[in-house]
Amino acid sequence: MTDPGTVEMVGERFPDKALEALTGALGTMRTGAYLTDEEGCIISVNAAAEQLLDRAAAQLVGHDAHDMLHRNRHGEPIARARCPVRRAMFAGSAAHGDNEWVERGDGSILPVSWLVTPCDTDDGTTATLVIFHPRDAPSAPAELPDRPSASLSELERLALLAETTTTLTSTLDVDEALRRLVNLVLPRLADWAVIDLITERDEVWRRAVVHAENGALVHMEELQGPMPPVPEGSPMPLSRALRGVSSALAGPETYQGPPDSGIAVEQRRLFQATGMHSAAIAPIRGVREILGAITLGRSEQPERFTAADIALLEDIARRAGLALANARLYQRQRKVAETMQRHLLPQLPSVPGLEMTARYVPAPNASQVGGDWYDAFSLSDGATALAIGDVVGHDLDAAAGMAQLRNMLRAYAWAHHEPPSKIVEWLDHASLHIAEASMATLVFARLTGADDGGIEMAWTNAGHPPPLLVSHDGVARFLTDGHGVLLGIEAHQAPKGRTDATVALPPGSTLVLYTDGLIEAAGHSLDEGLERLRRNAASLAHRPLEPFTDHLLERSRPPKNEDDVALLAVRIPR
């Protein structure tokens, strides 16, 4: 058997983060508990379950829970359709019972009370938590306070805490974490949930005031918003919770006397507006700081909160604090990454006879600052240079490599009046020895005045998606000439040198340079993405350049895209 507090699991069935949260919750339980996958097979088990079942974890994990454990009072196997535990496992909702039996390792039969609750995982699948204890054993440890007045049994309490852990740790969005937290506690524990958060500027913001009303959760937006500062030394419950001093019970009588702070005024208003007759307030603690406070209130439920409810709320708030701290860190990293990327991207020049605009959309993951980039600059011979590229990778190294390639490209293009292919050949050779970018794709182009007064573009393509040219009449075509291998491949591996291509850009036409995040989507071919982009661009041809670009990005970018997108659009005025 495993040591107390440890859990044995099968790791390949669920993503690591979900397994860590689920199995971590099991390890803290002092009653028997195991997890099953969507097929009913055991994927992890805690030490208490091993002891109660007289079976080592290795004998349980990977086996069908029903076949191995569930029996009738005579120790005989039960038909699957008649087993209440198995039915509950596949029903997708919480259930419990008091009159079942399980078979122990020595063949004896153990009468148990049980509770089943579903737990969502990161990849959209569902695990099932099964908690059980002998029917003749006490349902709660002796050292716990009296039973919560909301009539939660100890099994239900443990299931709620496990569900809180798995539900809150599976999102890195603060707003979504708050929504899930409210859904967990209402109406199970209270009629009202109030969440006050302390911002990074040390201001208090009442983020949620929610009422469980006729089966729905109603947000009372008129009670939400900024709050007065946290007073030092105030003995009032919310003030103490926001300072991280302690949890407390409260009622409307708590705030009937002369208020000692602005927060006390707001609390009196809260009790009057909601009709709460009893409330429990607990601090929400992060790893190193107090993040806020959660208040549960009852107006319709007649029971008053007790010390046992405070203990449960503190457990919930502790898990919420860890989830919110992670979400805040994620969002902070995302902001830093996005700010860095945007500062690396250039300001577009003002070029007579051309309209230009660009967009950059970062990847959804916080640290996924990417190597996607665009550039446009005037050259010493009067031409205008355009570039779009993508350094392989999605991290700060890719962003640094992108900046190096862009700066080298600018230097070569400014100093040498050579065709684009020659500039890119020099860049390719230099990147192998100077830049930190391992491989990259690139389109580099020169726009010059033609003899007939129009605009001509010469370009070369190093493994990048082809530019798109859209006429004013809505004829859209990809410019597939001038294509070569991507940067970073040794010259002897390329059978031919780079080539140039040229095209006239007619008045009213729009040139679109973009990165692959605009056209690549899971489950769809690249050709489908290119065709989607072409059709959208053709339909928007008559739009002014700014709305053309915004709508093209909105319509063409795949849903749930995991890549960043850079887009550069150039319009030739009519």
State the Cα–Cα distance between residues 299 and 301, nearest whole angstrom. 6
CA distances to 92, 154, 156 from 134, rounded to whole Å, are 24, 13, 15
Instruction: Report pLDDT for 571.
Output: 96
Give residue 417's identity as a one-letter amino acid code: H
Report yes or no: 509 and 470 within 8 Å, Cβ to Cβ: yes
State the Cα–Cα distance between residues 191 and 185, nearest whole angstrom. 9
Instruction: Report pLDDT for 256.
Output: 87
Q: Which residues contact 443 (CB under 8 A, 6 or more apart)?
A: 386, 387, 388, 389, 459, 460, 461, 462, 464, 466, 467, 513
Second CATH level (architecture) for the domain 171-333: 2-Layer Sandwich (3.30)
Instruction: Report pLDDT for 372.
Output: 83
321 token code pair: 């604090």
State the Cα–Cα distance between residues 296 and 28, nearest whole angstrom. 25
SS3 track for 433-463: CCCCCCCEEEEEEEEEECCCCCEEEEEEEEC
Instruction: Report pLDDT for 545.
Output: 97
Q: What share of the chain is helix, strand, coil (3-state, %, to 5)?
A: 35, 25, 40
467 token code pair: 């530019």
Residue limits of CATH 3.60.40.10 in the chain: 345-571
pTM of the shown model = 0.51
The CATH H-level superfamily of 7-143 is PAS domain (3.30.450.20)
The pLDDT tens digits along the chain (574 residues) read 444 444 444 433 344 455 565 666 676 667 788 888 888 999 989 888 999 999 999 999 999 999 999 998 888 888 888 888 888 888 776 777 777 899 999 889 999 888 888 776 656 677 788 888 887 543 333 333 333 444 566 667 777 887 788 788 778 888 888 999 999 999 989 999 999 999 988 899 999 999 999 889 999 999 999 999 999 989 999 999 999 999 999 999 999 889 999 999 999 999 999 999 999 999 999 888 999 999 999 999 999 998 888 989 999 999 999 889 888 887 776 666 666 656 666 788 999 989 999 998 877 654 455 578 899 999 999 999 999 998 875 555 566 667 788 889 999 999 999 999 999 999 988 877 665 556 789 999 999 988 777 899 999 999 999 999 999 999 999 999 999 998 887 544 544 679 999 999 999 999 999 999 899 887 788 999 999 999 999 999 999 999 999 999 999 988 766 678 999 999 999 8
Residue limits of CATH 3.30.450.40 in the chain: 171-333
Second CATH level (architecture) for the domain 345-571: 4-Layer Sandwich (3.60)
